[in-house]
Chain A
């Protein structure tokens, strides 16, 4: 068996022109309409590189100064290598449609300390269109997992000499993950606290492969090698690593313990001072103080490297909490804050 199959029009024998992802083509010689069977393939487009090498380098000027990076980074950093690559992304449009019913609960307390819980029934229609993207290969240490925008100007695959990463993940698995994400997003937007009934469908509307241009910039700082990546369409920095500064680490923990400690003290004091106070307010105050201190601690502990983008080793900030599952648990309502926050 040969691995290459020449394609001819079955009606006239002329050579036919077909692109990946097409299902129906017309023979350009005899005009027959032909339906293609078999491995469907995916529509593929590439976005035009709009940013030049100089601009990819120049964005670092501002980026080096921002967000608690080493104070002497601008002076000490030496850009050593700048090269463009094309990364493959699955781009998927989803429509979520259906109904979510349930109720919200609201608690009121009056001046005498009586509490009353009210149920508000809800009936929400869901009709949302989403567009998501997911990288179609292993991003390694580039810190990019999804596209920041879909605004590129498309051109038919013409990569010139730019290295193009191969797509190695499955489109159907990407579709499944994104379908679940769309469902979760639609549930979130419906704002129903307690769901009693749900009938929601996720309809995939379009799938395509986008090759997106990216500049990879490697720079050195005191014998260490760091990286940042620049969006080849918008010219913005997508992800990057940079050295931190011990001064900012210690400022963070000083401010964090001060604010956290005083908030906690204040909430304890309020409880001691007034007898009618609801003790949950004190608990919330204590928790807020502890969370602020903990957030500051994480930056103090791990802020020696400033990490932006979809890296897995980021341990501070909201991204770091997300890694630990706290934020996603909170968002999914798995941690109950008494329905008050």
Chain B
């Protein structure tokens, strides 16, 4: 845990990211942490291991909009871990609190343009934090450059590192890349091989029109219509089962 020295007795006081008021364990004075005048460094630790990430990728790849069999045939080329930085600003704008998230590093990674701070158990990033050799992406945009532009009065500003897995995979002779959050398993996808809806749509439209016609026919010849409806049910079921499994 991060510490600072008690302004009363000088003893080290431990504090967590969410603390605004802490009590010194030695002299029991209540201490207010004023975060408006300093920049903090926070980090979200890795909460998901690599095996789980690969399983999560396979689940995502099996999704209905992804190319058929992407989950089975996507060949994972590499899985890289890194910490990615964003700035988090809390400002007081005319008496109401507003949160701004701004980029801290330029990136070509897919899906990281929709800026946010992923939920997670944030800790203070200081010398006690062990990154375990994982690459920390260096911020190439200065925090100060935002401070002048943002509206209102500063309440808190921080550089937040969040953990990601960068997954490179090959499918149908092309290379793709996707980024997965290591706190919740959310997939920040860029582009991916897509599946066409046309076979699905075809079954639905042909089925609907067939039943519509047969319903009409029922007014003329109920027995024939009933027989045809029975056959159509079987055909639609067979066709849709094939499409759901294979297309």
Contact = CB atoms under 8 A, between A and B. Distances in A.
A293 B88 contact: no
A206 to B, nearest CB: 17
Interface of B: 4-8, 13, 17-18, 20-21, 23-24, 27-35, 37-38, 42, 47, 52, 54-56, 58-59, 62-65, 71, 88, 90, 96-99, 116-122, 155, 181, 183-187, 197, 200-201, 203-204, 207-216, 218-219, 229, 232-233, 236-237, 240-241, 243-245
Contacts of B120: 137, 140, 163, 165-166
Pick the 4 closest A-B CB pairs, nearest first: A265-B215, A261-B211, A140-B184, A225-B55
Contacts of A137: 117, 119-120
A7 B118 CA distance: 34
B241 A246 contact: yes
A140 B118 contact: yes
Contact of A249 (B23, B99, B181, B240): B240
A261 B58 CA distance: 37
8 contacts: A6-B7, A87-B119, A139-B184, A223-B58, A243-B62, A249-B240, A296-B204, A305-B63
B64 A2 contact: no
A164 B121 contact: yes
Q: Which secondary structure dominates chain A's binding surface?
A: mixed
Contact of A224 (B59, B117, B215, B236): B59
A261 B63 contact: no
A109 interface: no
B18 A167 contact: yes
Interface stretch (A113-121, A124-132, A147-155, A169-177): A169-177
Contacts of A17: 23, 30
Given A5-B34, A250-B241, A172 B7 contact: no
B119 A264 contact: no
A6 B181 contact: no
Main secondary structure of the interface of B (DSSP, over half): mixed
Interface in A242-293: 243, 246-247, 249-251, 253-254, 256-258, 260-262, 264-266, 268-269, 273, 289-290, 293
A166 B121 contact: yes
Contacts, number: 240
Given A223-B58, A225-B59, A4 B237 contact: no
Nearest to A312: B186
A262 B88 contact: no
A168 to B, nearest CB: 5
A85 B33 CA distance: 25
Contacts of A308: none
Contacts of B59: 224-226, 241, 305
Nearest to A162: B121
A17 B204 CA distance: 67
B186 A304 contact: no
